[in-house]
Amino acid sequence: MRLVQRFLKQLVFYVLVLALVIFAVWPFYWMFVTAFKTEHDLYNLQAIPYIFNEPPTLKHVRWLFNNTEFVRWLWNSLFIGVLVAGITLLVAVPAGYALARMAGRYAESLGIGIFLTYLVPPTLLFIPLSPIISRLGLQDSLWALVVVYPTFTIPFCSWLMMGFFKTIPQEIEEAALIDGDSRLGAFLHVVMPLSRSGIFTVIIFAFTLSMQEFVYALTFVSSTTQKPVTLGVPTELIRGDLFFWGSLMAAALIAGIPVAIAYNLFLDRFVAGITGGALK
C-alpha cells in the first residue's frame, strides 16, 4: 500500500511538472515548427500540425534574411542596447556608490525613492515624452530610445549597485584613504576593481531590459530602418491582414532565444535585486 501511495505521489508530481512545462513552452514549440514548415504543410487542415508532414524548409528563414530588414533590426537593437548599457553604467554606478556610502541618513530614503521610479510605466509617460522627443529632434530615430531607455535601467541598476557596494567592506577603502588616496581615488582604484561582477550584471541587465522593451519603441519609431528587432518583427512582417507566419516565427525565435538565455543566466541577480537589494 505504501509503495502504491508513494508511486501515486510521484506520478502526480511529474504530471504537474509536465503540465507546467507544456504550458510554458507550447507557443515556442509551435513557433519552431512553424518557422521550418512549408506553406503547404502549414495551411493543411487535415494533417497533424505538431509534426513535419513534409520535409522542413529554410525558405522562411531565407526570406527573412534576404527580403526584409531583419538583420538591420538586430543591429539596431544591439546598438541601442550597447549605448543604453554605457549610459546606465556611467550614471548608475556612481549613484549606487553614493547611496551605499555617502548620502548620510537620507541614503536609504533616496535609494528606495530611486528604486520606486522603476515602477513608473511607459504607458504613463509616452504621451508627454513624444513632444519632448520631437523637440530634441529625435522623432522617428532609434536615438530616441537610447535617450529614453535609461529612465528604467538607471533606477534598477543603481539599486543593484547600491546592494553590491554594501557588500564590500568599508575598511578596504579606509585603508586606501590612510595610504593617502583621495575619496574618489579610493573609489576608482580600490572599489571598482572589486566590483567587476556587479558592473557586468548592470551591463547585462541594461542590455536585456532594453532588448525587451516594446511600448516606447512603438511610440517613438516608425521608419522601417530605425526599428529595433522587438518592434520590427511584429509590425513589419505583417502586410495589412496578411501574416507571414513562417518568417514571423523564425524572426521571433532567432531574436528572442539569445536574449532569453542571457536573461536566464543573470536571473538570480535580478531576483536578488527585487527581493533583497543585496547582490553577492
**123 contributes a contact to other proteins by CB under 8 A:** yes
One-letter amino acid identity for 60? Answer: H
Sign of the dihedral defined by the CA atoms of residues 219, 259, 67, 41, in that order: negative
Q: Binders of other proteins among 143-182, rule CB under 8 A?
A: 147-148, 150-151, 154-155, 158, 180-182
Q: What are 169's three cell numbers?
A: 567592506
Cα separation values, 145 from 82, 201, 213, Å: 12, 21, 10
Q: Which residues contact 188 (CB under 8 A, 6 or more apart)?
A: none
Among 119, 171, 196, 239, binds other proteins (CB under 8 A): 119
- Judged by CB under 8 A, which stretch of 137-145, 166-174, 191-199, 251-259 contacts other proteins? 251-259
Among 131, 169, 175, 225, binds other proteins (CB under 8 A): 131
Q: Binders of other proteins among 260-279, rule CB under 8 A?
A: 260-261, 263-264, 267-268, 271-272, 274-276
Alpha carbons 28 and 124: distance in angstroms, whole number: 31
Q: How far is the CB of 193 from other proteins (least distance, A)?
A: 14
Alpha carbons 89 and 174: distance in angstroms, whole number: 25
Alpha carbons 81 and 153: distance in angstroms, whole number: 11
Q: How far is the CB of 3 from other proteins (least distance, A)?
A: 19
**200 contributes a contact to other proteins by CB under 8 A:** no
- Judged by CB under 8 A, which stretch of 26-34, 58-66, 138-146, 193-201 contacts other proteins? 26-34
Among 97, 143, 164, 207, binds other proteins (CB under 8 A): 97
**74 contributes a contact to other proteins by CB under 8 A:** no
Alpha carbons 141 and 219: distance in angstroms, whole number: 11
Q: How far is the CB of 38 from other proteins (least distance, A)?
A: 14
Among 31, 61, 84, 279, binds other proteins (CB under 8 A): 31
**202 contributes a contact to other proteins by CB under 8 A:** no
Plot region of 62 (φ>0 → left; ψ -120 to 50 → alpha; else → beta) = alpha
Alpha carbons 244 and 19: distance in angstroms, whole number: 30
Number of residues that bind other proteins (CB under 8 A): 96
